Structure 1
């Protein structure tokens, strides 16, 4: 077989292309090495003292030390965190990040077509910070002596029962709508301003069940004011080791979690994203941060951008299907 030889022109073109690729790679590497060159803003869509705010402030100091630049937390409150997410998505300074919750990075636009950013196109995943299951709670005097007996009562009661959530489109709302299908129950949705109001309503007899953050619910469970039915994790959660998962009490193929993550504008260079993700993941997995997050009711993850992207895609499909099937929208 005769081998073809490249003409001098072809060889020069090939060498030029290789040199250009090498130059570009070197340039991108240098850009990542030089980043950051100014103060970084970590934007949170919830007020000071909220769970996302506390996580952002715990992350800001060690992140600033690792990057050699000040990291300031900026609260842009409203629309369930979507105002802050929109600000991050449209930022062009190369130094604006966001600490966001599930909905901001997954179903925001499915729930409300008026949302002006596309979570899947306009945000770049950096790292999944922490996850937590929800805990299905009922009043302390709820019928039945076991979770299985309570579920049987709930099935028989149909729409005579009511459940609370922190609002339309929250994971507690969509998770309960999915649970209704999986467990064969049919409680009526009653939205509340927040979880404290939900617990007060349940202890006061206005509603009969709710999906709540474990740390918050267990305080009332231990005080004898609420009853734990099960967690929404696949198995026992380290956040509530004494509470069975709903799978253990007969609700198969059901798992829901709340989570928070760091995101950047989609325009941020991949080399910078990878650098940032590696540093954030290392900080999140440190003993101090792990302890802090656990006390706040979170299980630490510290994922790669790809790991967070996979989670976003999975949750968008699962929760998006519920939204479409139930025709749920926020106007």
Structure 2
């Protein structure tokens, strides 16, 4: 077996609700550690992306069953901007003992590496709770895009992108997000050169593509499929090593000849590091059990996620591995916040 290169190891590491209350909420509450007197009030889930975005939908899927498990209301609060970093900073600084966050990869891994001005440190300021879901991304393009064969496959699309050079643009939810770093890595692997344009979230990226402001983007599978069904976008290829169960009819970019490219997004719950350990343990147990319940697994699959529900230690390990892997990609591609 060939020993993988550092870049290859980085890529392999990446390949990395009403009605749900009943049984899963009771079971989670029974299995969670005792925390007398907590929660004493409403629990907040802060999301750094807009309503309707993938992280927002995931947070709202968990809010009701988590409320049942904890015996207090659980609300979702959107604090949007800076690729999710505004919301992340709000979680890091929360001291009320009743605030947690729903995060994407970048906020819990490489935010500080790509931008030293980020006001929080993922490794220092957060306590991992549970890895919730994982997914590849889908390379997506507008329907009827100029210079792209209407029935062309990924090879034809990438040929057109190479010919277009920097006349094309791609959108992401912000600098340092997996969509950004992944597209920069795709540029290096394929010789394409679209210009990066950041947006508040994936829904805004999809809207901009449908309006002709962007020529390509890496989108979550569920959003890409809904836009395709609406006749606005088409799916070109998935970023997994092979075809994904989330989009089995879409070929992988590897099938189109893209080498050493494998990409995965994930979302997770984390708490401020200042939250007492017994409270974190109770939240981790409740959230991970909810994530593994059949009803929530199905709901997340419909949203484009393969549910996980890891332990706090499992999420901590993933954070460390992805931070190291993405740090190598950042250095290789010389990516900065600017």
The CA RMSD over aligned residues, in Å, is 2.8
Asked if 1:146 corresponds to 2:153, the answer is yes
> Deviation of residue 156 (structure 1)?
5.3
2:54 aligns to what? 51
After superposition, the Cα gap between the structure-2 partners of 1:210 and 1:156, relative to the gap in structure 1 and judged at 3 Å, is: same
Q: Secondary structure at the match of 1:248?
A: helix
Tell me the distance in 2 between the aligned counterparts of 1:94 and 1:31: 16
C-alpha distance in 2 between matches for 1:91 and 1:146: 48
The alpha-carbon deviation at position 323 of structure 1 amounts to 3.3
SS at match of 2:256: coil
CA deviation vs aligned residue, 1:83-136 (integer Å, no higher than 9, x gap): 322222223333321112222211222232222211111101100112222111
Aligned pair in 2 of structure 1 residues 160, 110: CA closer, same or farther (>3 Å)? same
Q: What's 2:97 paired with?
A: 94
1:184 matched to which residue of 2? 191
Residue 282 of structure 2 corresponds to 275
Mapped to 2, the partners of 1:72 and 1:223 lie a distance apart of 31
1:141-175 C-alpha deviation (Å, 9 max, x unpaired): 52373323433444455445433334333322211
CA–CA separation in structure 1 for the residues paired with 2:83 and 2:56? 13
Call closer, same or farther: CA 1:247–1:271 in 2, change over 3 Å.
farther
Candidates 40, 44, 48, aligned match of 1:41: 44
Deviation at 1:207, TM superposition (A): 4.0
Residue by residue over 1:306-327, the C-alpha shift from the partner in whole angstroms, topping out at 9 and shown as x without a partner, is 2211221222223333334444
Q: Which residue of 2 aligns with 1:60?
A: 63
Q: Encode CA deviations 1:10-30: one digit per residue, 9 max, x unaligned.
A: xxxxxxxxxxxxxxxxxxxx9
Larger mean Cα displacement after TM superposition, 269-278 or 133-142: 269-278
Question: Structure 2 residue aligned with 1:84, among 84, 87, 97?
Answer: 87
Comparing 260-269 and 136-145, the one that deviates more = 136-145
- 1:172 matched to 2:179? The reply is yes
Question: Is residue 2:330 matched to residue 1:317?
Answer: no
The match for 1:15 is none
Structure 1 range deviating more: 79-88 or 101-110: 79-88
Give the distance between the partners of 2:86 and 2:233, measured in 1 at CA: 34
Instruction: Identify which of 280, 290, 298 aligns with 2:297.
Output: 290
Correspondence 1:131 to 2:134 = yes
2:242 alignment counterpart:
235
Q: 1:124 to 1:197 in 2, by over 3 A?
A: closer
CA deviations over 1:179-231 (Å, ceiling 9, x no partner):
11223333333445554554455456554322122222223434554332211
1:260 is aligned to: 267
Seen in structure 2, the aligned counterparts of structure 1 residues 36 and 181 have a Cα distance that, compared at 3 Å, is: same
Task: Give the corresponding residue for 1:308.
Answer: 315
- 2:26 match: none
CA contact (8 A) 1:129 1:301 kept: yes
Instruction: Describe the SS at the equivalent of 1:294.
Output: helix
Higher mean displacement: 192-201 or 177-186: 192-201
Tell me how far apart the structure 2 counterparts of residues 208 and 300 of structure 1 sit (CA, whole Å).
31
Asked if 1:226 corresponds to 2:233, the answer is yes
- TM-score normalised over the length of structure 2: 0.78
Which segment drifts farther, 248-257 or 259-268?
A: 248-257
Does structure 1 conserve the Cα–Cα contact (< 8 Å) formed by 2:83 and 2:201?
Answer: no
**d(CA) in 1 for partners of 2:128 and 2:229?**
38
| Match in the other structure for 1:72 | 75
Q: Which runs of 5+ in 2 are unaligned?
A: 1-31
